[in-house]
Amino acid sequence: MKIIGVTGPSGSGKTALTEYFSSLGVPTINADELYHSMLIPPSECLDAIRDAFGAEVFSADGSLDRTSLSAIVFNDSKKLALLNSTVLKIVIAEIKKQLRKLENSGEKAVIIDAPTLIESGLHNDCNTVISVISPKEQRIERISLRDGITHNRAQERVKAQKEDQFYISHSDYVLTNDTDKESFLQKIKELGVTLGLTDFTQK
């Protein structure tokens, strides 16, 4: 089974790429969605976060107080590293479990959509790594519109992320989303042909 990793900074356009590949019949494992599904109590992931950060990042009903946790890790690189090391191994174990299931079911290709694909080392399990990058100002605008936050808040998020060269240096293919949607979709389609994904959808 061909494992294709997709990564890149927030607001770059990864969703457009994974949605197109999904339309070809290629299953996608979305690491963010998987992580959020693991935050429904009770869960191993929540237990690990509690052990690392204490009860103060939890609400009275036992659910994670994401605002409190974000406030702790946002401007503290050591705390952010602690959060990543705490939850990534649990998420990665679940991703690998899902990969085994997909392979056993006869799938010939799968997409892993993960913002921290490279940082987690998961890119080493991929046959192909694709990074989607985009100019910072365009990313700021997309994040602001998508998440309903101010321009300044979106700018802070972008500043906290890796530079483009980090993704470029670890990727087999890089797609730059710097024009209109139609032009970017054409780039995605051409990459799909290069990767032979239309063939992989035929079991």
* Nearest CA-CA partner of 11 in 103, 137, 104, 98: 137
Mean of the per-residue pLDDT values for the chain? 92
Residue 142's Cβ-side half-sphere holds a number of Cα atoms within 13 Å equal to 20
Summarised one tens digit per residue, pLDDT across range 53-64 is: 999 999 988 899
Summarised one tens digit per residue, pLDDT across range 16-53 is: 999 999 999 999 999 999 999 999 888 999 999 999 99
Query: Largest Cα–Cα distance of the chain, in whole Å?
Result: 51
Residue tagged 């992320």 (tokens): 161
Please give the domain boundaries of the chain with CATH numbers for all domains: 1-27+108-195 (3.40.50.300), 37-106 (no CATH)
* Nearest CA-CA partner of 35 in 83, 75, 82, 1: 83
What interhelical angle do 77-104 and 44-53 show, nearest 10? Answer: 170
Residue 80 and residue 70 in contact, taking contact as beta carbons nearer than 8 Å: no
SS3 181: helix
pLDDT at residue 54, as a whole number: 94
Task: In whole angstroms, give the CA distance from residue 119 to residue 139.
Answer: 21
**CA dihedral of residues 101, 104, 110, 112 (deg, nearest 10):** 30
Percent of the chain predicted with pLDDT > 90: 80
Residue 203 binned pLDDT confidence (cut-offs 50, 70, 90): very low
